[in-house]
Amino acid sequence: MELNPNHPVTQSLHDQWHTLCAFAVLKAGGHVVISMADLKSMPVGSTITVQELDDGIHLRIVDRATAERLARKEGGLPI
C-alpha cells in the first residue's frame, strides 16, 4: 500500500521494486540472503520510505507513524 501514491517519486517507482531490489543486491556485493528469522525479526508496522535527493534515491525502514508523518508532509495523507 502506498501512502503517497500521487507523489512523482512514488509514481515513477510504482512497478519498479524489482529494479530497486536488484540494485540493492548489486550494492551489497551481488548476493543477499534473507532468512525466515530475518523476516520474523522485522518489527510489525515497518514501512519502507523512498526519497529522491541530489545524490540518488534513499530507501529507509521506518515505523508506521513516521511513514504517515512523512506522507502527510509530502501531501500524501490528509493533515
Q: Tell me, what's the pLDDT at 78?
A: 64
Q: Would 15 be classed as within a structural domain?
A: yes
Distance (Å, rounded) from C-alpha 37 to C-alpha 41? 6
pLDDT at position 12: 86
Give me 57's grid cell.
534515491
Q: Is the pTM of this model over 0.85?
A: no
Tell me whether residue 52 is in a domain.
Answer: yes
Count of domains forming the chain? 1
Domain range enclosing 55: 8-73
Kindly state whether residue 2 falls inside one of the protein's structural domains.
no
**Is 39 part of any domain?**
yes
| Residue 79's pLDDT band (cuts 50, 70, 90) | low
- The model's pLDDT over 9-62, given as tens digits with 9 standing for 90+, comes to 888 888 888 999 999 999 999 999 999 999 999 999 899 988 889 999 999 999
